[in-house]
Amino acid sequence: MSQSLLADASVRLEQALKYVSISDDAFSRLKYPKASLSVSIPVRMDDGSLRIFQGYRVRYDDTRGPGKGGVRYHPSVSLDEVQSLAFWMTFKCALLNLPFGGAKGGITVNPKELSRAELERLSRGYIEAIADFIGTDVDILAPDVYTNEMIMGWMMDQYSIIRRRISPGVVTGKPLTMGGSQGRDTATATGAFHVMNTVLPKFGQIPEKTTIAVQGFGNAGAQIAQLLNKAGYKVVAVSDSQGGIYASQGLDIPSIRQYKQNHLTVTGVYCKDSVCNIIDHEVITNEQLLTLDVDVLIPAALEKQITEKNAHDVKAKYIFEVANGPITSSADAILNTKGIHVFPDILVNAGGVTVSYLEWVQNRNGLYWSLTEVQERLKVRMIEETEVVWRISQEFGVNMRTSAYINALNRLNEAMSAKGTRDYYQGI
């Protein structure tokens, strides 16, 4: 991801600005991140050598509350990428009406090349480098691409060592035994499921007659596939980084998840090993999955999967963005022309940050909720905000992405105006 992605994300903002009256102050503040940090992280490797890794943390805006955003480990991580993701988080938190601003972090690394001990040293070294930049009331971390609850636990522990006090609220997505929340590990998928169940009936789609393809079979993709499968939807295709499979009569998602966990791939799931049922299927690529003739397409992998190069070939009627930024703005225009309904990432995948908020609240109060309580709070929040975005969409006659940005912009503008703007000081 490059600087152009932030410009691409800003195109969506420009579309929403046609329907929102915001102060010049708010517009100016949203152009730039509040603070960006680049750090070098020295790590002693298992063979005794020293490697230096580049790490980043960006706090884009904190008008509505402390920064909130994940930390990703990936070879493509750059300051530009992290800044773009922090920009998205700003709008996502405002859209869900959470008392957070937007932030993001990352390390340029292929975590698959590191041992567990090296991974721990890298994670603790990252916190050593950014400790003065984060905090329970300043900037709260969470898991993202190739980070998990174990890594979050290391980070929280290291921050507590530095501060000489237990500080569970600085990191969410932690292990339950370290102050994590019930339901956090499945929150992104569960939130997306509630969004889909809220809007698909508005188009007359019923589970038994709705075919679905899921690109990306990591944590969120696998979980949303299983939730949909259990609810009666027909999941006909899934893929991971190595390829995918398609079966028109539907896939056995639990078997695929088990095979994936054991073999780290989905492409062989129906053609070898006794764990799977033998059914007619096709082996397909990630690119082929995106153009399947299905009702619903769920990009749950990485950014920029649907671009102007392949948007014309997309046949799905509805797209739900479980990944961050899987569709470029130029592709959006093509999909709109084709009459394809796109439901944006800042709404669809906001279940993760919503339960992160619930975890943060529990950490601060020292009172922890059951899984049922957490899931009910998540369900209510996701359905309420989805209905708000739908009403705005219908009111202005705009697509759901523009509607989501209209709502988020209004909330950000209200928060910024509460501190005083040019109009206030000039008595306008």
Calculate the CA dihedral of residues 368, 369, 370, 374 and round it to 10 degrees. -130
- pLDDT tens for each residue of 63-96: 999 999 999 999 999 998 899 889 989 999 999 9
The position carrying tokens 């082996």 is 283
pLDDT value of residue 1:
38
Under a CB-based contact definition with an 8 Å cutoff, are residues 141 and 71 in contact? yes
Tokens of 272: 């070898």
pLDDT band (50, 70, 90) for residue 165: very high
Do 33-170 and 187-348 share a fold?
yes
pLDDT value of residue 266:
64
pLDDT band (50, 70, 90) for residue 17: confident
Average pLDDT estimate for 385-396: 97
Beta bridge partners of 52: 42
Q: State how far the alpha carbon of 325 is from the alpha carbons of 5, 328, 329, 374, in Å.
A: 9, 7, 9, 27
| Residue 277 in this model has a pLDDT that exceeds 60 | no
pLDDT value of residue 309:
94
pLDDT value of residue 3:
45
Q: Annotated catalytic sites, by residue?
A: 104
Average pLDDT estimate for 173-187: 95
Q: State the Cα–Cα distance between residues 175 and 184, nearest whole angstrom.
A: 10
**Domain ranges for the chain:** 33-170, 187-348
pLDDT band (50, 70, 90) for residue 57: very high
- pLDDT tens for each residue of 96-129: 999 999 999 999 999 999 999 999 999 999 999 9
- pLDDT tens for each residue of 229-276: 999 999 999 998 788 899 999 998 988 888 777 766 665 555 444 334
Torsion angles phi and psi, residue 157, rounded to 5 = -65, -45
pLDDT value of residue 21:
83
| Residue 404 in this model has a pLDDT that exceeds 60 | yes
Tokens of 406: 């209209």
Contacts of 224 (CB under 8 A, 6+ apart): 188, 189, 192, 193, 214, 298, 300, 322
Give the architecture-level CATH label for domain 33-170.
Answer: 3-Layer(aba) Sandwich (3.40)
pLDDT value of residue 390:
98
187-348: CATH class: alpha beta
Q: Tell me which residue of 166, 85, 123 sits closest to 363, measured CA to CA.
A: 166
| Residue 278 in this model has a pLDDT that exceeds 70 | no
Q: Tell me which residue of 57, 61, 55 sits closest to 32, measured CA to CA.
A: 61
